[in-house]
Amino acid sequence: MLLEVSLNVDYPGRPGALQDLQFSMNEGEIVGLIGESGSGKSTLALALLNLLDCKSARVRGSIVFEGRDLLALNERALRTLRGQRISLVLQSPMSALNPMLRIGTHFKEAWAAHSPQRDAWKQSACPLLNRVCLPTDDAFLNKLPHEISVGQAQRVLIAMALLHSPPLLIADEPTSALDVITQAETLKLFRELNRDLGTAMLIVSHDLLSVSNTCSRVAIMESGRIVESGSVRQIFEDPRHAYTKRLIDAIPKMPWAREPALQG
């Protein structure tokens, strides 16, 4: 087992952000964490990296990753894990990238955080840039974030997250800022990276349909709880919780898939 979570999280003035939440992942697994806005998905994603202190949250329980409880580690130990053993891809690529730093500098800084060989960053970054279909020449690496497209920025973030070959990648709404075609390309990229690198992935999304072809398992969140978890097939064909059924019923159907109108 790669990850086992048992959590309760309270915010000031908002108790029960996560309530008796039980969650686990195996090595190399892609899991979709699905729920509407405010259900606690991003809270869980940040909790896995122990990043809720800045929000004055009260966190209780355990987050056992590779046999260690992350909630029992001090900040220094956690910094050795973040980016190296667990990486995070945020939902807004243009906000996640520093507008004052060039693309190459982002990789250089991310590499130096966990490697004493500061000048070796290109040896790891360039193969990953190739994998996500981005240029590796100096012209691209010298660009600032506003000089590339949103889709390219998202691929930069994914490549940066994989720089140290982490066993677990958390992607928080990775397609929400992308157009439909780029969404499909990004999800296909996740499948390919999982297949070729063996990286386990937690894909956080409000869109059940968009991640259904990417994940091997789906966990459904409502009001701070995981109310149902199962294979994609089971969730779509035999949903058991009322909230899951509402999510599936809310998926838009193409006009030709609807029942024909009654003729007068």
Task: For the chain, give every domain's residue range.
Answer: 3-251
Top pLDDT among 181 and 167 is at 167
Predicted confidence (pLDDT) per residue in 18-47, tens digit: 999 999 999 999 999 998 888 999 899 999
Distance CA 226, CA 23 (A): 8
- pLDDT recorded at residue 255: 62
Closest among 133, 147, 42 to 97, alpha carbons compared = 147
pTM of the model: 0.90
Q: Please identify which residue in the block is written with the tokens 């590779």.
A: 66
Distance CA 115, CA 234 (A): 43
- pLDDT recorded at residue 54: 67
Q: Phi and psi of 214, rounded to 5°?
A: -100, -35
Mean pLDDT computed over 75-90: 92
Closest among 57, 63, 24, 60 to 43, alpha carbons compared = 57
Q: Provide CB contacts within 8 A for 128, sequence distance 6+.
A: 159, 162, 163
Beta bridge partners of 205: 34
Q: Which amino acid is at 74?
A: N
Distance CA 172, CA 41 (A): 8
Written as six digits, the tokens of 78 are: 């956690």
CATH number for the segment(s) 3-251: 3.40.50.300
Q: Per-residue pLDDT for 256 more than 70?
A: no
Distance CA 187, CA 97 (A): 20
The pLDDT confidence band at residue 257, using thresholds 50, 70 and 90, is low
With b for 16 or more beta-carbon neighbours within 10 A and e for fewer, the 78-101 pattern comes to eeebbbbbbbbbbbebeebbeeee
Q: Which amino acid is at 185?
A: E
Cβ atoms 204, 29 nearer than 8 A: no
Beta bridge partners of 5: 23, 63
> What percent of the chain is predicted at pLDDT more than 90?
62
The pLDDT confidence band at residue 53, using thresholds 50, 70 and 90, is confident
- pLDDT recorded at residue 264: 43
